[in-house]
């Protein structure tokens, strides 16, 4: 037997499908909270946190009332954070990382020191670039990032020590190094898979995270202040989203076993890569390309509707039946991050003469939810989520599409580290829910009798 024998693999696949199917009605019979969601769509309460708060609805006598979304970091509204650092004309991501990980806003002096610490920690260990990044390039930067995180274990003299000072040290290194790992992973991909020249720019300790990233991915190191500010804003908006989002919950689950930080964070990167989570920003762009290629007149609402109907019916694009970038597990009327990114996208579209394409986004935002409601007969409100407009903003910043989800990871590492510390300090019990076995008992049949 050859493992690449197609018919044999297909037979095994058919067996796997048949024997792993669970009758959907059983979930109801045993009151299983699929996706850890209650019957009204709200999440099952599985933990407490001081870090992020995601407000998407009001509970009124047990009933879920849709509401405008709000996001708070350590109790402070993200919109207030953004308004204030923008007013002061400075970058915000480092301040937000400090707030998330250490629990309070830094003083001016503390922020200067933290910026210096991040800058000093950007350099990867000796040999890492040659041995870990260039020797095994990947076509997928999230895959490369997860492997770089896991490889960091072997370069750490004290990888398994879960004392808080050690985990704080490791967290700072990861927050500082994520952009560098992503930039080098991208350069290796561009060279080995894209036949382009190889650029290994050294990180610049005095630049902000956003500036340093743009410096490292551009062959000529050039970027404008506006580009760096927009990227910084996006990093701030993606940095944290409560304990229940899939990648952060992964952090809690894996950390609760007492394993090392690299195992925890590599698992979270794998989660974020998924197209229903952080990977949606790449999917949105692929979907938009597909729509642009199949809809002749982007301004014709009926033609857009016709094609979106095919997508929702699983007859077009990736045939999964999803309009990527719409819908959220918690938000209902709006995702506050999408509101901010949409405003930026509108400004940039005007500046770059891309209002036609922006108009197509607006049409999808308007008709997508209406079609979803009529086709699926669902009362779920589908508002644009953070991933709907982020890719369009990145496109106008000339950022390559394969970096969209990695940029999310460069931001979310701060939230993940904050939650890891919270799990270590306040968790304390291995996360271990239950699965009911529904196959019953079966007898072992000796080989010669089968
Ligand atoms: C950073 C982030 O992670 S933001 C989210 C990024 N993901 C996306 O944009 C992908 C598209 N959206 C989705 O897949 C979903 O809306 C999610 C994953 C974000 C939230 O999913 P859930 O909370 O499970 O949605 P919910 O249970 O309320 O969905 C109910 C039904 O609506 C469907 N649905 C939800 N969103 C969409 C959508 N955008 N397009 C089509 N159908 C949708 C679900 O598939 C589900 O159908 P089913 O009952 O036939 O299985
Ligand atoms: O909260 C979620 O489920 C997904 C999300 O928006 C995020 O992680 O930013």
Same domain assignment for residues 102 and 169:
yes
Domain coverage including residue 87: 78-276+418-427
Give exposure, 226-236, as e/b (b: 16+ Cβ within 10 Å): ebbbbbbbbbb
**Structural domain includes residue 224:** yes
Domain assignment present for 94: yes
pLDDT at site 4: 66
245 and 300 share a domain? no
Ligand 1 mean position to 188 CA, how many Å?
34
Residue 255 and residue 222 in one domain: yes
User: Could you count the other beta carbons within 10 Å of the beta carbon of residue 169?
Assistant: 17
For residues 326 and 245, state if they share a domain.
no
Distance CA 57, CA 63 (A): 10
pLDDT at 1: 55
- Residue 61 pLDDT: 86
Q: In 61-123, which ranges are E strands?
A: 63-73, 76-77
Residue of 281, 330, 341, 414 best suited for mutating to test ligand 2, as the one with most atoms within 8 Å of CB: 330
pTM (predicted TM-score): 0.96
* Tally of domains in the chain: 2
Q: List the chain residues with pLDDT less than 70.
A: 1-4
Q: Are residues 201 and 93 in the same domain?
A: yes
Ligand 1: which of 327, 335, 382, 388 to mutate, judged by most atoms within 8 Å of the beta carbon?
Answer: 327
Assess whether 351 and 371 both reside in one domain: yes
Say if residue 96 is in the same domain as residue 168: yes
In this structure, the answer to whether residues 137 and 157 fall within a common structural domain is yes
Ligand 1 proximal residues by C-beta, below 6 Å: 35, 41, 276-278, 280, 312, 321-329, 372, 378, 380, 382, 385-387
What pLDDT sits at residue 234? 97
Contact call for residues 372 and 382 (beta carbons, < 8 A): yes
Which two structure tokens, joined as six digits, stand for 334? 């709006």
Residues 217, 252 within the same domain = yes
Per the domain annotation, does 355 fall within a domain? yes
Dihedral of alpha carbons 146, 234, 104, 243, sign: negative
CATH number at residue 206: 1.10.580.10
Query: What is the rounded CA–CA span in Å between residue 344 and residue 348?
Result: 6
Examine the domain organization and report whether 319 and 423 are in the same domain.
no
Give pLDDT, residue 2. Answer: 61
For residue 294, being part of any structural domain is answered with yes
The pLDDT of residue 379 is 87
pLDDT score for 3: 61
CATH code of the domain in which 325 resides: 1.10.230.10
């Amino acid at each position: 037997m050859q493992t690449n024998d197609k018919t044999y693999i297909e037979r095994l696949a058919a067996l796997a499908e048949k024997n792993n199917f669970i009758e959907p009605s059983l979930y109801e019979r045993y009151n299983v909270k699929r996706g850890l969601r209650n019957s009204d769509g709200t999440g099952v309460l599985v933990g407490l946190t001081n870090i992020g708060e995601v407000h998407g609805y009001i509970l009124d006598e047990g009933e879920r009332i849709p509401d405008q979304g709000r996001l708070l970091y350590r109790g402070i509204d993200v919109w207030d954070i953004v308004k204030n650092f923008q007013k002061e004309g400075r970058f915000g991501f480092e301040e937000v990382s400090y707030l998330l990980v250490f629990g309070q806003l830094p003083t001016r002096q503390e922020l200067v020191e933290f910026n210096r610490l991040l800058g000093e920690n950007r350099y990867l260990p000796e040999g890492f670039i040659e041995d870990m990044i260039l020797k095994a390039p990947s076509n997928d930067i999230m895959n490369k990032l997860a492997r770089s995180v896991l490889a960091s274990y072997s370069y750490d003299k004290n990888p398994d020590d879960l004392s808080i000072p050690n985990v704080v040290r490791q967290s700072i290194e990861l927050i500082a190094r994520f952009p560098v790992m992503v930039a080098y992973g991208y350069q290796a991909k561009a060279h080995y898979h894209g036949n382009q020249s190889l650029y290994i720019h050294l990180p610049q300790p005095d630049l902000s995270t956003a500036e340093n990233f743009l410096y490292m991915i551009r062959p000529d190191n050039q970027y404008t202040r506006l580009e760096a500010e927009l990227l910084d804003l996006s990093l701030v908006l993606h940095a944290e989203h409560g304990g229940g989002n899939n990648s952060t919950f992964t952090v809690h689950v894996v950390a609760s076993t007492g394993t090392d930080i690299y195992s925890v964070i590599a698992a979270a990167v794998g989660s974020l890569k998924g197209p229903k989570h952080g990977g949606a920003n790449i999917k949105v762009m692929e979907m938009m390309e597909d729509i642009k290629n199949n809809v002749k007149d982007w301004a014709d609402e009926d033609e857009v509707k016709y094609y979106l109907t095919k997508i929702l019916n699983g007859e077009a694009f990736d045939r999964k039946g999803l309009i990527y970038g719409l819908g959220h597990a918690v938000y209902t009327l709006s995702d506050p991050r999408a509101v901010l990114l949409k405003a930026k996208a509108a400004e940039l579209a005007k500046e770059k003469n891309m209002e036609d394409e922006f108009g197509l986004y607006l049409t999808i935002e308007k008709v997508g939810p209406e079609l979803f409601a009529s086709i699926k007969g669902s009362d779920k409100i589908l508002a644009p989520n953070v991933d709907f407009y982020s890719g369009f903003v990145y496109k106008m910043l000339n950022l390559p599409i394969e970096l969209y989800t990695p940029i999310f990871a460069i931001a979310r590492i701060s939230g993940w580290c904050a939650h890891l510390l919270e799990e270590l300090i306040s968790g304390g019990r291995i996360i271990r829910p239950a699965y009911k076995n529904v196959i019953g008992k079966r007898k072992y049949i000796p080989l010669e009798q089968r």
